[in-house]
Structure 1
Amino acid sequence: MTGLTSVLLMGAALYVSFQGQDTFSTAYAALKLASPRIEQPLATDLTSKSSRMRPVAATRSDLEIIEAAIRQTVDGREIIRNQPFVRIQATLATTATSLSGDVPAYDPVAILNKTEPLSKTVLDVATDVYGTDVDGEVAVSQAALPADFIPTRNVSDQGAADFVRGVAQSAYLIDGESQGPALAYAALAPNLRDLSATPESGPTGIAENVTVVPKTLTATEDGLGRTERFLTVRELGPLADTLVRNGFTRTQVSMVESTLANLMPAGGLPEGIRLRILYGPLTKAPESLVPYRMSIYRPEGAPGDRHIATVALSDTGQYVVGLQPDWVEFPAEDVEQINVGNLPSIYRSIWETGRKHDLTDDTIERIIGMFAYDIDMTKRITAGDTIEILETGTTPEAASELLYVGLNLGGTMRQFYRFTAPDGSVDFFDPEGETGKRFLNRRPLEGGGTLRSRFGYRIHPIFKTRRLHTGVDLAAPTGTPIYAGGDGTITYYKWQSGYGNKIEIQHVNGYETAYGHLSRFVDGIGIGTQVRQGQLIGYVGSTGQSTGPHLHYEIKINGNLVDPLSVKLPKDNVLAPQYRAEFDRTIAQINDLMAREPAPVSVAQTN
């Protein structure tokens, strides 16, 4: 009786301790970390207690393999074979993470070396074979036609005459009524709409030499804040690869995998899992955001609880099991909440996006070099800016090579196409046949400096009066190297009033540049010295009327001062007219590749 009573009492105690449950919980649920599903807006500002909304941008990160038949000349023999191409169409990264934390500092002068023409490669993409599917490899041989060869007549003279007569005499209709014979030619004169002084669509084109400054920069001058990314892993593979592409370091990935070891489903993660990653700043990495928290969810409709696991960064820098965040409905497309204080510079964003898609550092540097003369790489991107890239696929015979880059910033698309001239030179040209390289550099000092004062009227920092600021002030530490903005001849090389130590260089076609407040000059050069673009001419200082070390940089055109950062500058290299027709064919073939459907072996993914 005593033993039976003891068993009953122990059973009752165990039943109460398990709250009436007759089965054991899963390991994660037993930790009681699952929080209720609370419906809340996706764009709640995580940086404050208010309910103010912040923008949410859809992100796109597609990497696809496409195939096309190309013609190559190998050992003097023409062959046609299928060639894989890698096509990337992505939204520029709106968050700078550890993925790009070790990139070199922005240096406009160093970019000069990345815009030099390339050596000719073995790849020869021919327009006339696009769209031709081949199995294996086809050799092409050319031979003269026999002298007695006569092509078969497909259309008789009478048939051709009847066709022309029918076209010339056919009637055309307007509002269902016959208007007489249609003329067999295209009108060359402008139509009435072309001549209209007030076109219905309004004026078109891009305004040049215009600087747009926001009314307030308070939001962008604040420190980095939090941002959150929602994405779908569309291709089943190692979770570690996806984490690295989204800002986790290899060390952090190891910690995450160790923490999740006992929380993953027995059969592994299903295809199409959803990730929700919260990013935030660390004091030891002020320019990068690190993943604070990551949650893994099953795809909608999959068996089991939607939430699989959550890991969070602890105060000691370790990733531990964390609370499931308040529930939100995952959007159909991948999105990222945009905190304007987190938007990286164009330079950093291109690095982040390139590394996310496994581009080589040399390729990323060349892409930046194409646009660095037209675009201020230190400016922040705008949410929704995009990039398009086309490369040849890696094969046993050749490494991957860049063919095309399109950069869309603020709604303006800039494109560069690779072109191999008959003389063997290889370079990238825009649709007008011009390279991205300008014959003058807009920021001719190491690192590019920090813009402290723009061109235009301002209150003078010393005299406190409204005066025209005749150049731009680029702040940098004393002793920072200054380089010649372009090829030219030094015409002034000494002290000048408020400029302090000053250098002036005369360039071709009426262009002049001036460099003020130098701490010292470079030995061995003086008035009359011929200098090359990128050649060292002096060092940053604070001589003359200056409140701190910086370079005062001016550009004149035919004696008139202009804004160095926005003035339209001539290109350094223009495609020769005799190559124009072939270049147009190259543009057409690349555009065709960018518009093609991916091959059956596509690895389309969204990271």
Structure 2
Amino acid sequence: MNAAQRNRHASLLRASGFEDGPALTLQSTDGDIPQGRELSFAWLSGTVMTGLTSVLLMGAALYVSFQGQDTFSTAYKALQLAAPKIEQRVVDSTAKSSRVRPVAATRSDLEIVEASIRQVVDGREIIRNQPFTRLRATLATTATNLSADAPAYDPVAILNATQPLQAVALDLNADVYGTDVDGEVAVRQADMPLTFVPPTAVTDQVAADFVRGMAEATFYTEDAPPTLAYAALGPSLSDLAKQDDAVTANGIAENVTVVPKTTLGGDTGPARTERFLTVREIGPLSDTLIRNGFTSAQVAMVQNTLANLIPATGLPAGIRLRILYGPLTSGSNSLVPYRMSIYRPEGAQGDPHIATVALSDNGQYVVGLQPDWVEFPQEDIEQINVGNLPTVYRSIWETGRKHDLDDETIQRIVGMFAYDVDMTKRISAGDTIDILETQDSPDAKPELLYVALTLSGTKRQLYRFATEDGTVDFYDPDGETGKRFLNRRPLEGGGTLRSRFGYRVHPIFHTRKLHTGVDLAAKSGTPIYAAGDGVISYYRWQSGYGNKIEVQHVNGYETAYGHLSRFVDGLGVGSKVRQGQVIGYVGSTGQSTGPHLHFEILINGNLVDPLSVKLPKDNVLAAQYKDSFRQTMAQIDELMARNDATPVKVADAH
């Protein structure tokens, strides 16, 4: 750069206000007042300290105001409270997403039906009306505090719950005189007098004409189908296939596991679900809240908050409720009510929205703003988050307590189906349960008569039946009890399924090979039970299996238990064990990556899938009771199908 260019640049810099001043200095105390080119360490330090102090004070104030909680803005973030928008119509108010959550209609019909029954009292045969409680309900798709204290899943407890009862069964007779009886009717049976001659109902001539017409229609008419025939043997499988070229042979596939297609939850945030229901009859607000997952303490808070808005007599019929549920803490198995909104009956005058209560950060229910409006359905529905679907075990407990079943009855229902159903699997939306029991009275508690469980489209029915010795048990339509010869998950709590039967990549050797059983993970030291009655045939270490037990059962069945941490003292080869007896404890011995039970079932020396193999029933009804059992089934089926003109409603379990 030459001299002329340097002068031109200097002129431009001066014109822009640039000054060629001295360098910055730290000597701020040389003069009376610090100059513009000097720095003050005291001033800088004071400014920084003031800022830090302000931040600390504001942080402490916020911490105290939130009472030490580490999650803030729950009411806004989780509840998404918004200003009232009565005119707005939206589809999903629980999440701002284009994906619509699945919606399932929930059914909850609890009714009283009456039928005449026959009993022998003091040697007299009495016919009287008996009320029965009939429940038809959808299995709960949300696990709330209502079932949070349900006992842990335990096969031994299930064995105890499914033992036969000793009671006097009712003799149902729903068709006595074709109508219900008033009061009680005493029946006395006597021999027919020898002099009694019944009147003739059909003359000889009418009978002869009937026989002649039948014969002519059978043998002398070209196109008429035969009306008389012999009892031929059943068609073979090939004969069935020839009926229609387009139709294949039908049958029942045994030892086949049907796995329904499941959808994983798409939300990564808190799994929320919302319930819409209508109060069918007037009743206390507390009853409705408890049946829908509110604890007693939460009910008291809600009632105090809504004291001036809800009548003292309770919620009138037609009132609509909208309840939003979510987890209280991360990883919680139970959902708590985040928000509840109350709306007037359809067509009522005034603002449809009455009040909303929401759970605040400090665990109190306070008055909240109305959520975005949605059209209330005619039937009760629940928006489902598939990640919230409970296990079959938890859902049965939730549904039973919602409908005021006692814990003993719920435990028995679980035990009746535990051998056929994997209680640790999640339910599917729309699964149902039907129950029939005698009505509660001051003299006797309700007696369970019938239970039907429908899971993934498969219906299982069990009927109560009493034999001559007074033993009462529950049998399926084929006269077999729900109890199985072997338990499929023989350890305390049932364990967590980690690996199924079949070919897999070995977790240690990383080669593809057959997994000969199922792996049920549990804590080290968890008791392991004998899957069925039998004799121990192997009771020591085996390479790969670690500590291993083998039990021989009748009819060619054998079970094996591997990776035990230790055996039970006093047992050995030749020891007889009973179903449910502790024989060892969960461990990780042998070739194992963690504590679990490796469980195998062999039939005539062949390995089978323990979770899907068809197992024989533990007890079958004797042939002498078949006719009586079929009559009992018909009577119970009639009560379940009865549609009285004016059924007596007990409650809608809302």
TM-score by length of 2: 0.82
| Alignment of structure 1 residues 56-205 onto 2, 5 Å | 56-121=103-168, 123-126=170-173, 129=176, 131-169=178-216, 183-185=226-228, 188=231, 194=240, 196=242, 198=244, 204-205=250-251
Larger deviation, residues 567-576 vs 116-125: 116-125
Find the partner of 1:35 among 54, 77, 84.
84
2 CA distance for matches of 1:317 and 1:107?
Answer: 33
Query: Given the superposition, is the C-alpha separation of residues 476 and 181 from structure 1 closer, same or farther in structure 2, using an over 3 Å criterion?
Result: closer
Q: Distance in 2 between matches of 1:313 and 1:382?
A: 29
Asked if 1:273 is matched to 2:319, the reply is yes
Q: Which shows bigger deviation, 366-375 or 121-130?
A: 121-130
Distance 1:186 1:133, change over 3 A: farther
Report the equivalent of 2:506. Answer: 460
Which runs of structure 2 are paired with 1:227-306 in the superposition (5 Å)? 227-264=273-310, 269-283=315-329, 286-306=332-352
Give the Cα–Cα distance (whole angstroms) in 2 for the partners of residues 340 and 322 of structure 1: 27
Which residue is equivalent to 1:9? none
- Rounded to whole Å, the distance in 2 between the matches of 1:419 and 1:220 is 47
Query: Which one of 359, 372, 384 corresponds to residue 430 of structure 2?
Result: 384
Give the secondary-structure state (helix, strand or coil) at the position aligned to 1:154: coil
Task: Give the whole-Å Cα distance in 1 for the aligned partners of 2:165 and 2:363.
Answer: 45
Question: In structure 1, what residue type is equivalent to 2:360?
Answer: S
Q: How far apart are the structure 1 equivalents of 2:119 and 2:245?
A: 48
Q: 1:576 to 1:378 in 2, by over 3 A?
A: same
Identify which range, 128-137 or 95-104, moves more after superposition. Answer: 128-137
- Say which SS state the counterpart of residue 434 (structure 2) adopts: strand
Distance 1:267 1:493, change over 3 A: closer
Q: Using the alignment, how far apart are the partners of 1:426 and 1:521 within structure 2?
A: 37
CA distance in 1, matches of 2:258, 2:227: 50
Does the CA-based 8 Å contact 2:522-2:596 persist in structure 1? yes
| Paired residues of 2:403 and 2:653 also in contact (CA < 8 A) | no
The Cα shift of 1:603 comes to 2.5
Relative to structure 2, which stretch is displaced further, 192-201 or 146-155?
192-201
Q: Does 2:508 match 1:508?
A: no
Counterpart residue number, 1:548: 594
Paired residue type of 1:434:
E
| AA aligned opposite 1:35 | P
CA distance in 1, matches of 2:635, 2:617: 25
From the superposition, tell whether residues 195 and 105 of structure 1 become closer, same or farther in structure 2 (CA, over 3 Å). Answer: same
Counterpart residue number, 2:523? 477
CA positional deviation for 1:131: 4.2
Identify the residue that residue 490 of structure 1 maps to in structure 2.
536
Change (3 A) 1:181 1:218: closer
Quickly say closer, same or farther: Cα 1:389–1:293, change in 2 above 3 A: same
Q: Match of 1:526?
A: 572
The one-letter amino acid paired with 1:596 is R
Indicate if the aligned counterparts of 1:477 and 1:550 stay in contact, CA closer than 8 A. Answer: yes
* Deviation per residue, 1:384-436 (Å, 9 max, x gap): 00111010112344321001011100000000000111232211000011111
Shift of 1:94: 0.2
TM-score (norm 1): 0.88
Q: Could you tell me which amino acid in structure 2 is paired with residue 279 of structure 1?
A: Y
Structure 1 residues 489 and 257: CA distance shift in structure 2, 3 A: same
1:445 matched residue in structure 2: 491
Residues of 1 paired with 2:289 and 2:160: CA distance? 33
Deviation at 1:217, TM superposition (A): 7.5
Deviation at residue 144 of structure 1 after TM alignment: 1.4
Deviation larger for 89-98 or 144-153: 144-153
CA distance in 2, matches of 1:422, 1:279: 50
User: Whole-Å Cα distance in 2 between the matches of residues 408 and 366 of structure 1?
Assistant: 17
- CA distance 1:64–1:200, change in 2 (3 Å): farther
Partner of 1:328: 374
Shift of 1:505: 0.4
* Distance across 2 between alignment mates of 1:107 and 1:221: 32
Residues 267 and 474 of structure 1, relative CA distance in 2, 3 Å threshold? closer
Give per-residue Cα distances to partners, 1:104-127, cap 9 Å, x unaligned: 000122201111111122523246
TM-superposed CA distance for 1:231, in Å, is 0.6
Give secondary structure in 1 for the equivalent of 2:304: helix
CA contact (8 A) 2:564 2:586 kept: yes
| CA spacing shift, 1:203–1:52, aligned 2, 3 Å | farther
Contact 1:244 1:253 survives alignment (8 Å):
yes
Greater gyration radius: 2
Structure 2 residue 477 is the aligned partner of structure 1 residue 431: yes
Q: CA distance change for structure 1 residues 358 and 224 in 2, over 3 Å: closer, same or farther?
A: farther
Instruction: Please state how far the C-alpha of 1:576 moved relative to its aligned partner.
Output: 0.7
Secondary structure of the structure 1 residue equivalent to 2:386: coil
Count how many residue pairs are aligned between Structure 1 and Structure 2. Answer: 569
CA–CA distance in structure 2, aligned partners of residues 309 and 89 of structure 1: 31
**Which of 594, 603, 608 is equivalent to 1:562?**
608
Counterparts in 2 of 1:290 and 1:130: CA distance versus 1, 3 Å: farther
| Match of residue 21 from structure 1 | none
Q: Which moved more, 1:351-360 or 1:416-425?
A: 416-425
- Deviation of 1:268 after TM superposition, in Å, equals 6.3
Residue 128 of structure 1, CA deviation:
5.8
1:273 and 1:364 map into 2 onto residues whose CA distance is 30
Hey, what's the Cα distance between the residues in 1 that align with 2:329 and 2:251?
Answer: 45
Aligned pair in 2 of structure 1 residues 584, 221: CA closer, same or farther (>3 Å)?
farther
Report the residue type matching 1:482 in the other structure.
I
Q: Point out the more displaced range, 202-211 or 341-350.
A: 202-211
The 8 Å contact of residues 276 and 320 in structure 2, kept in 1 or not, is answered as yes
Structure 1: which amino acid aligns with 2:579? Q
SS of 2:172 mapped into structure 1: coil
Give the letter for the 2:473 counterpart.
D
Once residues 350 and 146 of structure 1 are traced to their aligned partners in structure 2, the CA distance between those partners, rounded to angstroms, is: 56
Preserved CA contact (<8 Å) 1:169 1:181: no
Aligned partner of 1:551: which letter?
Answer: L
Which one-letter code corresponds to 1:185 in the other structure? Answer: L
| Partner residue in 2 for 1:51 | 98
CA distance in 2, matches of 1:558, 1:459: 27
Q: Structure 2, unaligned stretches of length 5 or more?
A: 1-80
Output the CA distance in 1 between the equivalents of 2:374 and 2:585.
55
RMSD of aligned Cα (Å)? 2.6
Aligned-partner residue type, residue 124 of structure 1: D
Query: Are the counterparts in 2 of residues 484 and 535 from structure 1 also a CA contact under 8 Å?
Result: yes
- CA contact under 8 A between 2:432 and 2:454: conserved in structure 1? yes
Please give the alpha-carbon distance, in whole angstroms, between the structure 2 residues aligned to 1:182 and 1:205: 28
Is the CA contact (8 Å cut-off) linking 1:228 and 1:276 kept in structure 2? Answer: yes
CA contact (8 A) 1:484 1:537 kept: yes
1:327-349 CA-to-partner distances (Å, cap 9, x unmatched) read 11111111101100000000000
Identity of aligned residues (%): 72
1:234-254 deviation digits (Å, cap 9, x = unpaired): 111112111111111111111
Match of 2:398 in 1: 352
8 Å CA contact 1:229–1:278 kept in 2: the answer is yes
Which residue does the alignment assign to 1:375? 421
Alpha-carbon separation, structure 2, partners of 1:453 and 1:497: 20
The alpha-carbon distance between structure 1 residues 588 and 204, as it changes in their structure 2 partners (threshold 3 A), is same
